[in-house]
Structure 1
C-alpha cells in the first residue's frame, strides 16, 4: 500500500487519489487563505461574533501558521509514500529522477510567479513593492531561488505578502535536497526511522531556542524540517505496518482529529501549559491521522468535494491566493461596507482563489510538469500522471 491508500503497483501506473488526504490538504489551504483575509477583514467585532464562540472564530481566522505545519507533515508523507511505491525502498532512490520530479512540480509556477511579482514591483504596484531597508528585488529573487527566503526575512523583516508566503518553500526544498542523500547514506530503514524520530521530537526544542527573533522562530529551517520528518516517519510506519485493524484505525483517526482540533480550537488555552510542545502535538497528531488514512481510496463525502478540490490545487492556490486577497481588500476598503458584515467577503474570496488556482494548474503547471518529465526522465518512468506532488503547500 502507498501513501494515497493504493495497492502496490508498477511505477507510474495510474491510480485513484486518496480523498481523505486531499481533504486534509484542503482544510490546510483553506485555513491559510482565511487567515490572510482575516488579518485584513477581521471577523472579530462582526456579526458572526454574536453567533459563534470566540474560540471557534479564532480557529477559523488565526491558524494559518499551524496550517503550514500540517502541510509540512502531509508533504513528507506523500513524497515518501510515492518514493516507496516507485522504488520499493528509500535506499533505492534514483537521485536524478527524484530531483527532476521535484523541479518539474515546483519550478514552472515559481518562475512564473517571480516574473509577475518582479513586474509588479518595478511598476510600483501597491502591496507588491519591496521597500523595506536592506531589501531589494534582486536580493529577494536570490533568496527565493537559493532557498533562503525564510532566513532573509528573519534578518531583514517581512517582505510583501505574495513574497512572504514563499518562506515555507525554502524549508521544504532544502529538506528534499538532502533527504534522498540521507536515505542513500543510512540505507537501513530502522536507522533512518530513529534519526527521523529524534528530528521530529526536536521541534519544541528548536522553536524555544529561537525565541529571540520572532520572525526567524516562525520560519527557521529546523522546526519546519522536524514537521516534514514527522510525515516521512509516518509514511515509513504506514508502509511497514500493512493492514490496520478497523477499530485501531478508527481509534487512530479519533486521536489524530482530536489532537489537531485541540490545537486549532484551544491553542491559546494550551499554550501556557505546554508552550512549544503544542506544535509537536499538532504534527504528531497529523502523522497519526495520515497513517490511519493512507489506505482510504473512497471518494470525498458529498458536500466536501469542494474542499478536496482545494487540496488537489493547494500548491497553485498557495502561490497565488494573495493576488485575490489584496484585490478584494482594496475593493473592501474603497466601499462603505459595514465591517459587521465583512464575513460576507470570505466565500467569494475563497472561490476566486480556487478558480485562479484551477486555471493556473490546467493552463500552466500540469502541462509544464508533463513536458519536463517527458524531456528529462526515461520513458519508462515519465508516464503522464496528474502531478499532485507532495504538498509544498499545495
Structure 2
C-alpha cells in the first residue's frame, strides 16, 4: 500500500489533544493560564479540545482504511474480507485486550471495580452505549470505529458508485439525526454514539474515494485552504456567539461545533493540505521524528492514558498525579507498542493487500 506522509503527525496531534484535554479534566493542568486575551483563550480551548482530537482520529482513520481497500482492489480486482478482518483484528485486539486483562487482574486485587455491564460493553466494543466508569469510558471512540468497519467492506464490494453514495449519505444523515435527537431526545443517546459521529469516518472515506479529483481542484489554492481551515478551527468556540448576532445559531443544531460535521470538514481540509500540499514548515513539523514517533505510539497512548489519570470515584495515587502520570502514560505506551503491538503488526503484514507473484498469475489462469 502507498504510504502517505504526515499521517503519523496528524495522529500525534489527535492523541495530544485527547491527552491534554483529559489531563485538564483530572489535574487542571492549565490552571495557570489566566490570560484575558481572547485569541490566546481560543488557542487554549483548542489545546484542551479532546473531542476535536477524536474527530481528527476518525477522519484520518476513514481515509487510511478506504485507501487500503482501494489499493487492494486495484491490485487484485477485488478485496478479501478474510484478510481485511484479520488485519483489523491483529491491529486492534492484542493491545486492547491486554489492557482489559490488566484491568481484570487489578479488579481481582481490589484496586478497581467495574460492574458486569461495563465489562460486557468493553469486551464487545459497544462502549459507546455505556461509559459510566472513567477507566474504560474512552473506549467509546474505538467502539464507534469498529461498528463502522463491520459493514464498510460490504458496502465497498458493491461498487464504486454505491460506496460513494453511502459515504455521502452518512455525512448528510448525521445532521438530520442531530436535529431529530435535539427535538426528540432519548435517554440512551449522546454525542458519543455512532449515530452522530459516523460522519467523521465517512468523510475520511469520501476523501480517499475522490482524492485525485479533489487534489487536482485544490492544488492551486493550498495556502488559502490551510489558512482558512486553521482560522476557522480556532474560531469554532466563538461560533454560537457570532451566529446568534445574525440569528443563525440554529445551524449548529445539525452541524455541531468542535465535535460535529462542521469540524470534520475543516479537519478534512487540513488532512488534504498535510498529505498532498506543499512541503513547507507544517509538513516538516508533522513529519519530524518526534511527531512521527508519537503518531506511531498513538494507539497505545490512547489505550493507556486514562489508567494514569485520576477518576473522581477512584484512588488518587502517586501515579495519577501530574506530571508523573504523563511520563507514565508514554512509558506504558512504549512498552505496549514494542512488546505487544509491533509483533502483531509484523504478523499483520502477512495479510496485506500486496499481491504475491502467485496471486498475479491466478487471475490470468
* 1:365 positional shift: 0.7
Deviation at 1:258, TM superposition (A): 3.1
The gaps in structure 2 that reach 5 residues or longer are 357-365
Counterpart position of 2:47: 60
Moved more, 363-372 or 250-259: 250-259
**1:104-159 deviation line (CA, Å, top 9, x unaligned):** 1001011101111112223221xx422xxxxx24x3333223332212x1xxxx33
Q: Distance in 2 between matches of 1:260 and 1:297?
A: 20
Q: What is the alpha-carbon distance in structure 2 between the residues aligned to residue 241 and residue 66 of structure 1?
A: 23
Provide the rounded CA distance (Å) in 1 between the counterparts of 2:217 and 2:354. 36
**Residue pair 2:15, 2:301 contacting (<8 A) in 1 also:** yes
- Quickly say closer, same or farther: Cα 1:307–1:270, change in 2 above 3 A: farther
Q: Is the 8 A contact 1:17 1:297 kept in 2?
A: no
How far 1:309 moved relative to its partner? 2.4
2:301 corresponds to:
317
Instruction: Confirm or deny that 1:143 pairs with 2:115.
Output: no
Given that residues 125 and 143 in structure 2 are in contact (C-alpha distance below 8 angstroms), is that contact kept between their aligned partners in structure 1?
yes
1:364 positional shift: 0.9
Note the residue ranges of structure 1 that are not aligned, 5 or more in a row: 1-11, 131-135, 335-344, 382-394
**What is the aligned partner in structure 2 of residue 341 from structure 1?**
none
In the TM superposition, what is the alpha-carbon distance from 1:191 to its structure 2 partner?
3.4
Q: CA 1:76 to 1:303, structure 2 compared with 1: closer, same or farther past 3 Å? A: closer
Instruction: Note if 1:295 corresponds to 2:271.
Output: no
Residue by residue over 1:179-237, the C-alpha shift from the partner in whole angstroms, topping out at 9 and shown as x without a partner, is: 0101112x1x2332232122112333223333435773222212221211011001111
Correspondence for 2:81 among 83, 87, 95? 95
Using the size of structure 1 for normalisation, the TM-score is: 0.75
Aligned position for 1:9: none
The structural deviation recorded for 1:42 is 1.9
State which of 107, 111, 115 in structure 1 corresponds to 2:97.
111
Q: Distance in 1 between matches of 2:235 and 2:75?
A: 35
1:197 partnered with 2:168: yes
Q: Is the 8 A contact 1:100 1:373 kept in 2?
A: no
CA drift of 1:16 comes to 5.2
Per-residue deviation at 1:36?
A: 1.0
Report what 2:335 is aligned to: 359
User: Is residue 223 of structure 1 aligned with residue 196 of structure 2?
Assistant: yes
For the 8 Å contact 1:237–1:291, the answer to whether it is kept is no
Counterparts of 1:182-331 in structure 2, within 5 Å, are 182-185=155-158, 187=159, 189-211=160-182, 212=185, 216-241=189-214, 243=216, 246-263=219-236, 265-266=237-238, 269=241, 273=249, 274-276=251-253, 277=255, 278=257, 279-295=260-276, 300-301=284-285, 305-326=289-310, 330-331=317-318
CA distance 1:230–1:330, change in 2 (3 Å): same
Q: CA, structure 1 residues 367+309, in 2 after alignment: closer, same or farther (shift >3 Å)?
A: same
The list of structure 1 runs, each at least 4 consecutive aligned residues, that deviate by more than 6 angstroms after superposition, is: 376-379
TM-score (norm 2): 0.80
Say which is worse superposed, 314-323 or 193-202, in terms of deviation: 193-202
Instruction: Indicate conservation of the 8 Å contact 2:12/2:294, yes or no.
Output: yes
Give, in whole Å, the separation in 1 of the partners of 2:176 and 2:186.
15
Task: Pick the aligned partner of 1:122 from 89, 108, 122.
Answer: 108
Go from structure 1 to structure 2 and tell me whether the alpha carbon gap of 1:262 and 1:145 turns closer, same or farther (over 3 Å shift): same
Q: What SS does structure 2 have at the residue aligned with 1:39?
A: helix
Q: Which moved more, 1:222-231 or 1:253-262?
A: 253-262
Aligned partners of 1:253 and 1:90: how far apart in 2? Answer: 36
User: Any idea what the Cα deviations from partners look like across 1:2-54, whole Å, max 9, x if unmatched?
Assistant: xxxxxxxxxx5xx65512x322221111111111111122256x332147644
* Secondary structure at 1:88 match in 2: helix
